[in-house]
Every structure is written in C-alpha cells, then in structure tokens.
Amino acid sequence: MITAQDLIAKVQSYNPKSDADLIARAYAFGAAAHEGQTRKSGEPYFTHPVAVAILLTEVKLDDATIVTALLHDTIEDTKATYQQVANTFSPEIAKLVDGVTKLTNLELSSVETEQAENFRKLLMAMSKDLRVLLVKLADRLHNMRTIRSMPKEKQRQKAHETMEIYAPLAGRMGMQFIREELEDLCFSVLNPEARNSIMRRFINLSKENDDLIPRITEDIRIALNTANVEARVTGREKRPYSIWRKMQEKNEPFNRLSDIYGFRIITENVQDAYIALGAVHQRWSAVPGRFKDYISEPKSNGYRSIHTTVSGRNAKRVEVQIRTRQMHQVAESGVAAHWSYRGGQRAENPFAVDPFRWLRSLAERFEASENPDDFLEHVKLEMFQDQVFCFTPKGEVIKLPRGASPIDFAYAIHTGIGDSCVGAKVNGARVPLWTKLRNGQSVEIIRAEGQRPQASWEDMVVTGRAKSAIRRYMRDEHRDAHIRLGREIARVSLGRVNKKPTDKALETAAKLFNLNDGNALLALIGSADISGSDLVQTLYPELVKSGSSAGPASDEERVIGLSPNQSATPAPCCSPVPGERIVGIAMPGRGVLIHAIDCPILEQFEGNDRRWVDLRWTPDSSRACNETKIEVAMANDAGVLGRICTLIGEHRANIVDIRFTNRKPDFYRIRLDIMVRDIEHLTNVETALKADSDVAEVIRFRDTSLCELAKNDSGESNN
C-alpha cells in the first residue's frame, strides 16, 4: 500500500506549497478509523481511500479534496463522527466528507420516480461543492477496477448504475479519462463476450499492422516539423467499448470502422493548432464529412479540439485530434481544472467553463418541471448526447443534441416559437419537421398565429425542453376533458362501494395522493395515471377488504360437477359467466379454475384428461352478479366515455374498474371490468355499446398473457 510520504510526494510534485502535515494527519486518522476492516478481496479496507486519493492527484487537486478522499468513508463506515472530523481537520473538510457519504447512500439505479428524486439530491449535493462529485467519481472508478471480488449480481447492478449515471456524468463534467475507463469497465461486466471479441480482433489487427501506431506518429511529427510547429504527438487504439458503440451506431462490422486508431497533437497555442491541421491535411487526404471544429464552437462542458479523419499510411483511416495544452487539460480533467494546482498556485485555465453554470440551469429546470421523470429524462439526454451546432437566420448559434429536429431548434430559442411552429427551412429549403439537423446548418422556423403543439411532435423531438413543453401543453389542453372523464370514473368506482364522489371526498383523496386539490386528482384519474380502484382503495380500504359491495354467491355454489371439498374460482384469463359452456381445470394447490369452453388456454391441457373437470352452471347461477371483461375502442371526444358508462348503467350492469390500455390522438382503447348476470345480459350490453356512433369496436377480453403460466403448469403435471 502507498505510504503517507509517497502520497505527500505526489501532491507536492504539482503543489510544493501543499500542507504535508494535514495530509499526514488525515492518512493516520483514516488508517486508524478503518483498522481491522477488509474489502471483499481480503485487502485492508484503507487501501481503497488511499487509491482514491492517488487518482485525484492525477488531476492535480487541492489539499482539501485529497484529504476528503482519504476520509470519505469514515463517517459512513467507522465510529468517526461529523463533529470529530470537523474538530480534527476543518468544517470545510467535514462538509465534503459528509457530502460524499450522502451521495454514496443514494440508490441511483432504483425505480424511475425514486431515481428522479435521488438524482435531484445528487445535483443538490454537487451544487454545494463540486469537489464532492470529483471524489465520488474517483471512488466509483476504483470500485469498478476492483469489482471482480463482488457477487455477480452486485457487479451487474453497480455496472448498470455506473453506465447509466456516473460515466455520462463524468463526461458531462468533462472528465474524459474517467468516463472512458468507467464505460469500458462496465462493458466488461455487462457484455464480456462482446468485449472479448473486440479484444481478439485488436490482437489480430496488431499482428497484421505491427508497428502502425509508432509509424503514423512519426509521419505526423515529420509533417509538423516541416510546418515549423512544435507539438507533442501521441497515438493509441480506441477503447473496446468505444469501438463497440460505434459498431452499434453505424451498424458496421469491426473491419469497416474508420477510426479504430486515434492520434492527438498538443500544441502551445491556437495558431499552431490550425497550422497543424493544415499540415495534416496537406500530408493525407481528409475524409469528407468527418471534420469538427470544437475550438471555434466549444461543447457546453468546455471541451475544445479540432477533430479530423484522414486516410493515413496504407490507406488506414485514422482520427486526429488537435488542441492546445490548456485545452487538453480541460478535455481530460474537465471541471477539475478549476481546482488544479501547478507550482503551488491554483492553475488559471482560460478554457475551463464555470462548473456551476450547468448545475444552476438544471436546478431552474427542475423547479419548473411538474414531472420528476421528465426532468430525469432531460438530464440523461443532455449527458448522453453529443451536440450539433445550427444557426438562426441572424447568425446566432444554437446547440442541440445529435438527432434534434427543427422543433427542438424552435423550442431551444423560445417556448412560444416552438408552440407556434408550422414548418422549417434548412439552408433555405423547406424540410419536414421530423428532419434531423446536422452541424453548420442554417435553420429558419416558420410560424403561424393560432398554431398549437401536436401530440405527434413528442416522437419527433429529443431535447428534454421540447418534450416537457409539448407534454405540458397537451396536459393543459386536455385537462378539462380529463377532469370530466375522471369525475365519471370516480362516480362509477365509488358507486360500487355505495359511495359518491363528493367535493369533500375528492379533496380528502387529493391530500392522500399529495395533490393540490380535487380537480388535480380527477385530471390524473381521467388521464389514467391514477385508476378508479386506487381511489377507492385510498379512501375506503376497509370497505374494499370487507367486500361491502353486493357480490355474487360463492363460486362453489354456482357450478355443478365438483367433488366434495373441491374449491372453484373463475379463471382470470376468460372470466366466464352463466349461460356459456364451461369446463374446469384442476390446478395443483389452486383448486379448480372455471374456463369458458372457447378459452385459448385450454389448448395447453389437451391430452391431459386427469386435469379436466366436467362442469355446468346451476339453474340459479345468474341470480348473482358475475365479473367479466370487455375492451372498447372509442373516439377521443368529450362526453364519449360518459355515454358509455351511462349505457352500461342503463342496462343494470355495474362497472368494477376502467383502465386505458391504448391512448392515441384520435381513439382510446379502454378495458372495463363489469358485473353482469349472464351471457345474455353481457350480449345486451355489448349490443348497446356497438350501436353508439363513437364506438368503433367492442370485444370480449381474453387475457392470453396467462398462456405461459398454463404452459408451465401443464408441463409440470406431465413430467
């Protein structure tokens, strides 16, 4: 394990004025606190904090961050307390250690709604001091390097979380070396076969090309010397995950990729960078469409570099990146450049962006977002997507994710421009709104008074801002209709426990759902975000448990053919009702399931006569109510659902539940659980519904998704 003196020497190599005593005390404190603890690999636990601190010295971070790395697990995993750390070191260091602890406790790979809230907490912690995130990223990198000692399932869970959150977050913060290694380490856990395949191809390629990288590197140096440019030139093979991702994006095999090899030219100033570009293009042919100038148009995380792909030695296509030394520092360490030291002084880098600008922007958008999932989607899009740069007719630059459309462009300018967009011109030519924009294009948005966002736009946009604006408008546009639908669903659902949707009941339920008022609740019920059953369960759980609504007689009393002590229940797949032919299937441990004779699941039990039970309905079975399911396709117009519910009620059938199974701009498909006496009663209800001009289809619902269960049960029986 690296000693305290070794660590101090590394820090003092870039910061001679470093407080050696502070680092030595932190090393001793951490070692004592973790005494006796071991990692899954069997190593002393303190080797991990030391490794994290060493990682942070690579980006030349300040003393407080190095000390935080040494102590980052003490408050969480040892007897050390926040106050003890504050008294022994400083309140600043205690806050940093506590911030890392809180990030560690967030389950960022949990279900979506919780994930959105936890991600918000992560951003709040980052906004207080971004060094918390830098320590956490280094912590995650070392954990991923040593992940093989953990159980397989835990490896996959951590790899998924890292690939989804921490790797793109490192990229968004500009820390490319951490992002690339995290992605590749996750790749080896999540898809080891693919990574091994690419590694084998690399080995074969190296045998074929032998010393290709050193030779091309020397060719570039000769070209730069001819142009009188002093620069550092390096070359490397791309990482396996980067190669695999390009194979997936371009749908091309390994041997067709053009940029397996990458080379960097690091110059002293911007003028030399452009001279170097000219020297490279003069020496080799540039590949059309593979040139990007991020010096004149930097990425939002501060990244600046010239990218070009050329046909190099032996016609091998290689990517060349050209940037200055200061740009390279930002490209590799990103926001960490703000805390970097050189010669004992905080290094001033004119190309480093304000690390809090993006966080402030996110905080504002989160406050304006009604739906935390929308916010999370927007953040992920911003982190994952590369950017394209387009121009307004006045020459202003608009930055968008790759794959953005003119609608994204319109909303990026102003929400009002997006809402009123009816068309677009790209480079002076009219294009469809679903067109994907490319770098350097000039985009003009055509507007019309009275135009409003369309539901279909959501499938054409990729930015969180555009998606949120469209969804917000559609919610507001349909809010009144959803409230009316919700009121009808609430009336039907509460009616089956003999209750009414009074204003008092709705206000009470709204508070239980953490909503502002009854109308907000009705809107969510009408938009199928909350079901009628959820409303009843929330308001009257005891009535639901006790079954106070009028129910049918016991299932055993309604059928003939059961053996003594044999129980029976209607099969959920077909929900049979009296009047239609039925058959029973004996299910081990579950009694007899009553199926309609035309239930598709019965095919799975052919040839297994021992399971079949001959059943028929009793003469008085239709005196009780029987639950069954129908699906209705209806026009998406105001009042249609109300008429459907009224028709069912007029035929003295009771609606148990309503679920929206498919919602399109013009038609809805709903599934209704209804109580009827028998097949004749059901047929009368279906006929009345089919007669409505706004009803396109009425069918009996059969839940064929239960076929797999039947297969498993029948298979077990036959073995």
The DSSP call for residue 429 is: E
pLDDT band for 116, please (50, 70, 90 cuts): low
Residues 376/119, Cβ–Cβ less than 8 Å: yes
- CA-wise closest residue to 628 among 684, 672, 567: 672
DSSP assigned state of 530? S
Q: 18 is written with which tokens?
A: 């470093």
Most confident of 166-180, 476-490, 632-646: 632-646
pLDDT tens per residue across span 368-390:
555 555 555 555 555 545 567 78
The answer to whether the CB of 217 falls within 8 A of the CB of 266 is no
The pLDDT value recorded for residue 307 is: 92
Question: Which residues have C-beta within 8 Å of that of residue 267, sequence separation ≥ 6?
Answer: 229, 230, 231, 273, 276, 322, 323, 324, 325
* pLDDT tens figures, 403-446: 889 999 999 899 899 999 999 999 888 888 888 888 778 899 99
335 pLDDT above the threshold of 90: no
Fold of 558-719: Alpha-Beta Plaits (3.30.70)
Q: Which CATH entry fits the domain spanning 4-190: 3.40.50.1360, 3.40.50.720, 1.10.3210.10, 3.40.50.300?
A: 1.10.3210.10
Which pLDDT belongs to residue 125? 62
Cβ-defined contacts of 389-397 (< 8 Å, 24+)? 389/297, 389/439, 389/440, 390/437, 390/439, 390/440, 390/441, 390/442, 390/443, 391/440, 391/441, 391/442, 391/443, 392/442, 392/443, 392/444, 393/442, 393/444, 397/297
The predicted model gives 557-580 an average pLDDT of 83
- Average pLDDT for residues 580-600, to the nearest whole number? 85
Asked if residue 586 has pLDDT above 90, the reply is no
Bridge pairing between strands 341-342 and 345-346: antiparallel
| Predicted confidence (pLDDT) per residue in 244-295, tens digit | 877 766 666 666 565 677 899 999 999 999 999 999 999 888 888 778 888 8
Binned at pLDDT 50, 70 and 90, residue 453 comes out as: confident
> What is the average pLDDT across 323-337?
79
- Mean pLDDT in the chain? 81
Q: Which two tokens stand for residue 305?
A: 């570099």
- Identify the top-confidence range among 363-367, 510-514, 536-540: 510-514
Please give the pLDDT value at position 111.
Answer: 47
- Residue of 158, 130, 161 lying closest to 145 (CA atoms): 158
Q: What is this structure's pTM?
A: 0.54
Q: Would you list the domain boundaries of the chain?
A: 4-190, 194-346, 558-719
Q: Locate all alpha helices (DSSP H) within 334-453, ordered by sequence.
A: 355-368, 372-384, 406-413, 415-419
The one-letter code for the residue type at 163 is M
Q: Concatenate the DSSP letters of all residues of 124-183 into one string.
A: HHHHH-THHHHHHHHHHHHHHHTGGGS-HHHHHHHHHHIIIIIHHHHHHTT-HHHHHHHH
The answer to whether 585 and 561 have CB atoms below 8 angstroms apart is no
**CB-based contact 60:14 (threshold 8 Å):** yes
Query: Which residues does residue 375 pair with via DSSP β-bridges, in sequence order?
Result: none
Residue 280 pLDDT: 93
Treating both helix axes as pointing N-terminal to C-terminal, what angle do 518-526 and 503-512 enclose, rounded to 10 degrees? 80
Structure-model confidence comparison of residues 245 and 98, the more confident one? 98
Looking at the annotation, which residues are catalytic? 76-77
Token pair for 631: 């699906």
* pLDDT of 118 strictly over 90: no
Which run of H or of E encompasses 95? helix 91-105
Distance CA 142, CA 43 (A): 14
Contact yes or no for 115/108 (Cβ under 8 A): yes
Q: What is the DSSP letter of 110?
A: S
What is the tens place of the pLDDT at every residue in 160-204?
A: 888 877 888 787 777 788 888 999 999 999 888 888 888 888 777
pLDDT computed for residue 323 by the predictor:
94
Is the pLDDT assigned to residue 229 strictly greater than 80?
Answer: yes
DSSP string over 611-634:
GEE--EE-TTGGGS-EEEEEEEEE
Element holding 334 (H helix, E strand): none
pLDDT (0 to 100) of residue 411: 92
Q: What is the pLDDT of residues 18-68, one digit of tens each?
A: 899 999 999 999 999 999 999 888 899 999 999 999 999 988 888 999 999
**Is 582 a residue whose pLDDT tops 80?**
yes
Q: Nearest to residue 658, comparing CAs of 594, 649, 650, 637?
A: 649
**Residue-wise pLDDT tens digits, 457-477:** 888 888 878 888 888 887 777
- According to DSSP, the residues that pair with 616 across neighbouring strands are 560
pLDDT of residue 565: 76
pLDDT for residue 548: 41
Question: Where residue 9 falls among pLDDT bands split at 50, 70, 90?
Answer: very high
C-alpha pair distances (Å), 452 with each of 364, 405, 414, 417, 469: 25, 17, 14, 10, 11
Superfamily covering domain 194-346: Beta Polymerase, domain 2 (3.30.460.10)
Q: What is the model's pLDDT at position 642? A: 86
Phi then psi for residue 267, to 5 deg, are: -105, 175
Distance from C-alpha of 668 to C-alpha of 658, rounded to nearest angstrom: 12
Report the share of the chain in percent with pLDDT over 70: 81
| Predicted confidence (pLDDT) at residue 585 exceeds the cutoff of 70 | yes
User: How sure is the predictor about 5, in pLDDT bands with cuts at 50, 70 and 90?
Assistant: very high
